[in-house]
Chains A and B, each alone.
Chain A
């Protein structure tokens, strides 16, 4: 490193399943410039100090959602978090909380992918239309009902912020329920009844105890806590409507 170069320490939680029985911390000292993101910091480690360090990233601009990490204990996108905000103190990075660690900063997200599939994240048309009938029309109000919930980039920061998911990994969780709500609230969609089965289930919205931290850490202002809590009301309505029009048991 050049003489007079400023440096900063990054403490990384390492875990290599082939050698380690459990994760352990390792500290690296890297050159510091005030335009460096935490992601660039760990990239420096990989390129110059230890090529075996594993982490995910792609876009470097807070849009792909792959670079999530715990940074000083806070779920953050590492490409959007800057070392200058911690300098000269040491920065601690760790794989996203509440997920199994696959290797170093890489988590196992299989469970989330399954949940994503289970909510049927696509429009199930309310009524079939032929091409000749033209496009579906929506008013600005109808768009407003779901637009914010469609901004999710699947970064999983909200899961790392949710202690209820940490305690019960079967909980469908904030992002998947926000996306579920995005489709249920869409005027073109007719799949609500099917999705409500999941909302009402053991793994559904009532696992949420309104901690609210998920919405706090969301980089896209999706406000997943709001989607989950709106669906507690929807679930209760669904429950009482069942007495008026019975349609079979719940999961």
Chain B
């Protein structure tokens, strides 16, 4: 009779076993802030459609310190999300061949991060110009 009895180990708490998995879970978790922020903007759009009073009430609500705090936190979460997203990007794309050479991973990651920073600065500049 066979003595075989392969033992299957539990996956409970798998994401705590390795720093790499922890980073992955934080990365996935920060995506919730992207969704939350989209929700806030959408609410603003609805309020805008409801008229001037509703819009102004929404603007006033945004000045609440809790909201400001949330935005700062969301900013940090989004920065982390973008950073880890571009870090994994080279692994998720088909190879980019430039002049017969495969573009190295760091160029793709660096390029993505640079594009994100430039886009954010342009947006900041535009908004800054509008509120002044």
Interface residues of A (CB under 8 A from B): 15, 17-18, 22-23, 73-74, 97-98, 100-102, 108, 141, 144-145, 163, 166-167, 209-213, 215-216, 223, 225-226, 229-230, 233
Contacts and interface: CB of A to CB of B under 8 A. Distances in A.
Contacts of B100: 141
Nearest to A217: B20
B132 interface: no
Nearest to B91: A225
B94 A233 contact: yes
B9 A101 contact: yes
A144 B102 contact: yes
B97 to A, nearest CB: 8
A163 B14 contact: yes
B6 A102 contact: yes
Contacts of A226: 90-93
B63 interface: no
B106 interface: no
A118 B41 CA distance: 48
Contact of A216 (B5, B6, B20): B20
A79 B10 CA distance: 27
A100 B6 contact: yes
A230 B30 CA distance: 25
Interface string B69-97: 00000000000000000001011111101
Nearest to A215: B91
A229 B94 CA distance: 8
Interface residues of B, number: 26
Nearest to A102: B6
B128 interface: no
B7 A17 contact: yes
Among A167, A212, A216, A230, which residue has the most Cβ atoms of chain B within 10 A? A212
Given A100-B6, A211-B24, A163 B11 contact: yes
A15 B7 contact: yes
B92 A22 contact: no
30 contacts: A15-B7, A17-B5, A17-B7, A18-B3, A73-B17, A74-B18, A98-B9, A100-B8, A101-B6, A101-B8, A141-B97, A163-B14, A163-B21, A166-B11, A167-B14, A210-B88, A210-B92, A212-B88, A213-B18, A213-B24, A216-B20, A223-B91, A225-B91, A225-B92, A226-B91, A226-B93, A229-B91, A229-B93, A230-B94, A233-B94
B67 interface: no
Nearest to B92: A229
B91 A17 contact: no
A212 B102 CA distance: 20
Given A23-B7, A144-B97, A233-B94, 11 more contacts: A17-B4, A17-B5, A74-B18, A98-B9, A100-B6, A101-B9, A108-B6, A144-B102, A211-B20, A215-B91, A230-B94
The 6 closest A-B pairs by CB, nearest first: A100-B6, A17-B5, A229-B92, A101-B7, A225-B91, A18-B3
A183 B15 CA distance: 33
A160 B117 CA distance: 36
B29 to A, nearest CB: 13
B7 A100 contact: yes
B11 A167 contact: yes
A161 to B, nearest CB: 8
A75 to B, nearest CB: 10
B3 A212 contact: no
Contact of B3 (A17, A23, A145): A17
Contacts of A108: 6
